Amino acid sequence: MLELDAVEVLAGERRILGPVSFGLPAGGLVAIVGPNGAGKSTLLKVLAGETPPMGGEVRFQGEDMAAFSASRLARRRAVLSQSLEVAFPFTVFEVVSLGFDGAPRALTAGQKAARIEAMLERVDLAGFGSRNVQTLSGGERQRAHLARVLCQIGEAVDEEGPKLLLLDEPVSSLDIRHQVDTLRMARDFAREGGLVVVVLHDLNLAASFADRMILMRNGRIAEDCDPAALLNGQTVDEVFAIAMTRIDRGPGRPPVVMPHAV
């Protein structure tokens, strides 16, 4: 569904991504992990079509992504960014409704309002619609933006094919139950036939939900494999420069990893 061919991004003289080449089929949840500055957000912006690669090509369902119009992109993929500041005192309802502005669909105002309310309930923000988004807690704000992104993307598959959901550290401010709830929603989207790419720092949470994990280091891919293989191998210790203790959970299941107590 998504293919990267020798993709590179430069910041001035410095190559901050690539060259990277890989393919991602629809119907999966792929977790991207790696240290701060490894290029995870840069890669996600390339997958979103927000940052055009300076070398190589990204193909979305066989077509060069650079040729997609903004409105077509908005219908085919949605992105939850790592930074979620809102410069204006929008209400939560207004923030979520921005999702519909990005990807216009033939819905009446009443239908949109009903979907927004249903989505707020889904992210556990029922009754928050009239609140000023700037007054929300960090985790509440993150879930309000998740609702916006889910309203934008709609169903995982439509008549034009599977859609792409890109989430950059979507659980960084969430308590443990909302972390699990959020990744369950992401996994449901993948099970329904869409493609989800999610950046996460929690290796164990990533391994619990992902079908595949991509470990990045210095703008390149250090490992690309299933979660059990990734967490059992030594590359994670090398890439994060910290020795991990592994708690085995039986065959076929990824171990739990923890940094050695200091």
Ligand X SMILES: Nc1ncnc2c1ncn2[C@@H]1O[C@H](COP(=O)(O)OP(=O)(O)OP(=O)(O)O)[C@@H](O)[C@H]1O
Q: Which stretch binds ligand X (CB under 6 A): 21-29, 30-38, 73-81, 92-100?
A: 30-38
Of the two residues 2 and 16, which places its CB atom closer to ligand X in the complex?
A: 16
Query: Per rule CB under 6 A, is residue 37 in the interface with ligand X?
Result: yes
Query: Per rule CB under 6 A, is residue 6 in the interface with ligand X?
Result: no
Q: Which residues pair with 67 in a beta bridge?
A: none
Query: Per rule CB under 5 A, is residue 41 in the interface with Mg ion?
Result: yes
Between strands 55-60 and 2-11, the pairing is: antiparallel
**Per-residue H/E/C for 92-135:** HHHHHHHHHHHCCCCCCHHHHHHHHHHHHHHCCCCCCCCCEHHH
From start to end of the chain, where are the E strands? 2-11, 14-24, 29-33, 55-60, 63-64, 77-80, 157-158, 161-162, 164-168, 195-199, 212-217, 220-225, 244-247, 256-259
Among Mg ion, ligand X, none, partner that 39 touches (CB below 5 to 8 angstroms by kind)? ligand X
Q: Which stretch binds Mg ion (CB under 5 A): 35-43, 46-54, 140-148, 188-196?
A: 35-43
Query: Per rule CB under 6 A, is residue 81 in the interface with ligand X?
Result: no
Of the two residues 80 and 151, which places its CB atom closer to Mg ion in the complex?
A: 80
Among 8, 19, 22, 82, binds ligand X (CB under 6 A): 82
Query: Per rule CB under 6 A, is residue 40 in the interface with ligand X?
Result: yes
Among ligand X, Mg ion, none, partner that 11 touches (CB below 5 to 8 angstroms by kind)? ligand X
Among 18, 27, 39, 227, binds ligand X (CB under 6 A): 39
Among Mg ion, ligand X, none, partner that 16 touches (CB below 5 to 8 angstroms by kind)? ligand X
Give residue 197's identity as a one-letter amino acid code: V
Of the two residues 120 and 203, which places its CB atom closer to ligand X in the complex?
A: 203
For residue 17, which of 29, 47, 28 has the smallest C-alpha distance? 47
Size of the site for ligand X (CB under 6 A): 11
For residue 193, the minimal CB distance to Mg ion (Å) is: 27
Size of the site for Mg ion (CB under 5 A): 3
Query: Per rule CB under 5 A, is residue 81 in the interface with Mg ion?
Result: no
Q: Calculate the CA dihedral of residues 67, 71, 74, 75 and round it to 10 degrees.
A: -100
For residue 127, the minimal CB distance to ligand X (Å) is: 32
Query: Per rule CB under 6 A, is residue 115 in the interface with ligand X?
Result: no
Residue 58, judged by CB atoms within 10 A of its CB (0-12, 13-18, 19+), counts as buried
3-state secondary structure of 49: coil
**Residue 218 token pair:** 């210095």
From start to end of 124-248, where are the E strands? 157-158, 161-162, 164-168, 195-199, 212-217, 220-225, 244-247
Task: Please report, as ranges, the residues that interact with Mg ion according to CB under 5 A.
Answer: 40-41, 82
By CB under 6 A, name the binding residues for ligand X: 11, 16, 34, 36-42, 82
